[in-house]
Amino acid sequence: MDLNYFKKTRILDGGMGQELLAKGLISKGTLWSTSAILDEKFHQLLIDVHTSFINAGANVIVTNNFSSRKVRLIQNKVEDKFEYVNKKACELANKARQISKKNILIAGSLPPQNGTYVVDERGINIIKKDFKEQAEIIKPYVDFFYLDVISSAKEVEAACEVTEKMNMPVLVGLHLKKNGKIASGETVTEIVKKYKTSNWIGLIGACVSLEIIENSSKEMSDLDIPFGFKANLWNVEEPLPLHKFNRSKFNEVGKNPNDTMGRRDEITGEIFYNFAKRIKEKGANILGGCCNINPEHIKSISSLK
């Protein structure tokens, strides 16, 4: 792909997991959106949700394998499905692109390989191994990798080493806290200065609130790299890591993270458009959504490209 792709304004998709749940997915345990891959009856729904974001104006869709990391599959006793669910997520995304007949790109999700929103305390070689195993499965099916909601410098280092060796472009998605730093304590500037490689094609605030994005946009605009966001609409400014949940709740069929973190229903398409317009005026070229951002939100910002 063109490594300058994000030097023009591009629209990313929204929150696949929450949209799947809203459209009827029954999730089991902590598998969430991976449940739609394991149960074949939901494959068409998954394709339809991808297609709805494409039709709303997304230039890029992200593969639905965020919760298909090995640790999550082990928790739910389906680790033998690791290769299948990651490969199938990519195949279904490609099917949606084919159906749409639109010239969109597919980003391969490389999520944090242990917990979400927290530092991975394991050794870096273990983290590299996990990233490598997932990346090798999805690489043949995607246009670039997306480091999907990364919270620590060690994970950035591990993932960037893996993706650089694979000679694949990478969009880096950092999960920022209210203080503008990632969970391991580094600023965005420090991460870019220490870990940026030649295959970076952009940098975004990933699964963060509108307020955090607004507060971080000035720092990102000074880094001489295409930047932007995938915003969430949780009703908490800092999402709770999984270990903060009542774990027993997530052993019930169909439980939704919205039950714990809530949802900002007041953020209409118009409000999201005005927010995205402000960030674009600060120099952002990468505009999109994460949890609870639906196709209507993406449609509202599609005119900004």
Give 41-61 pLDDT, tens digit per residue.
999 999 999 999 999 999 999
Parallel, antiparallel, or unpaired: how do β-strands 227-231 and 60-62 relate?
unpaired
Q: Encode pLDDT of 57-72 as tens digits.
A: 999 999 999 999 999 9
Find the farthest-apart pair of alpha carbons in the chain and give their distance in angstroms, rounded.
47
- Are 259 and 249 spatial neighbours (Cβ–Cβ below 8 Å)? yes
93-121 per-residue burial string, b: 16 or more CB within 10 A, e: under 16: bbbbbeebeeebbbbbbbbbbbbbbbbbe
Q: Residue 191 half-sphere exposure, CB side, CA atoms within 13 Å?
A: 33
Whole-model pTM: value is 0.95
- At the topology level of CATH, where does 5-304 sit? TIM Barrel (3.20.20)
User: Locate tokens 């792709």: which residue?
Assistant: 5
Mean pLDDT of 174-197: 97
Residue 243 has pLDDT above 50, yes or no: no
Which tens digit of pLDDT belongs to each residue from 96-154? 999 999 999 999 999 999 999 999 999 999 999 999 999 999 999 999 999 999 999 99
Which neighbouring-strand residues pair with 206?
230
Distance CA 138, CA 88 (A): 9
- In which residue are the tokens 């191994």 written? 129
Tokens found for residue 254: 């169909």
Average pLDDT, integer, range 180-197: 97
What is the reported pLDDT for 242?
54
pLDDT the model gives residue 257: 78
> H-helix or E-strand containing 145?
strand 144-150
CB neighbour burial string for 35-61, b if at least 16 within 10 angstroms, e if fewer: bbbbeeebeebbbebbbbbbebbbbbb
Question: Are 15 and 232 a contacting pair, CB within 8 Å?
Answer: yes
Reading the block at residue 18, the tokens are 């929450």
Model confidence pLDDT, tens digit, residues 189-217:
999 999 999 999 999 999 999 999 999 99
Query: Is 4 exposed, middle or buried, given 0-12, 13-18 or 19+ CB atoms closer than 10 A?
Result: exposed
Domain residue limits, the chain: 5-304
Q: Chain-wide mean pLDDT for the chain?
A: 94
68-97: per-residue pLDDT in tens? 999 999 999 999 999 999 999 999 999 999
Give pLDDT, residue 247: 45
pLDDT, position 30:
84
Taking residues 224-239, report their average pLDDT.
94
